[in-house]
Structure 1
């Protein structure tokens, strides 16, 4: 561990804000079910890239903000993103060395775990709906992962985020 001060936190928080904005951005009804979970994708990247700076606490806070923005049960996305963050933090050393296609498959599994937790919470509270389209954001998230990876990696390198 280094004692160097963190650089570029504002870049990370700006990217997470962008992910939250993409999450609530209105889409046409035909493609809305295919919207990837941008918050989860961006958090997976930042926790994988800088686990000593951004971790489960960051995921919990982003999840609470996401709950407020979407009007869902308070803590629903927070617990799902926190558990996903724990899984990323536990496996980040292995996943970072994977080729991009294997990372995309791993991200698909992480997004599926995230979605399963959301389904369990909604089922427990009696708010479960649209089960036939719950797989769509998982698949689109996997397909968007290479672009998210390259975009955030270029941001991290350009602004020397550490």
Structure 2
């Protein structure tokens, strides 16, 4: 397991470009989600998870910080760092980077494990929780990014 996990290379699509000539803010979320999906496959939350278990994941909170513009056809990767977890929740930090290495955006997410029969937040199955714990151990040695728990506001002098 990579620490942090890194997605495959993805490409900024022409239809994602806004009238300012750069990636529309909504599609940063799409790229973060596609990168997280690759990590979630490792956890066991693959495409058949909901059908097989009746469970799924919901993003309860997502904070994006835009750092540098992306443009049409830019190659990008998404990293995923598991910051914390318990039996029902995942706290993660992601970076969206140009394939050349520079940082375009960060995303911080609180993900809930949900039993669809409620729906209600519910514990992950033990096999999934074991994989999450293994990733947590691998990521424990990583520096906690300064942007984790960042707040938004207007600074007054």
Q: Is the shorter-chain TM-score for this pair beyond 0.5, marking a shared fold?
A: no
TM-score using structure 1 length: 0.28
Higher RCO (C-alpha 8 Å, min separation 6): 1
TM-score using structure 2 length: 0.28
Greater helix proportion: 1
Larger Rg: 1 or 2? 2
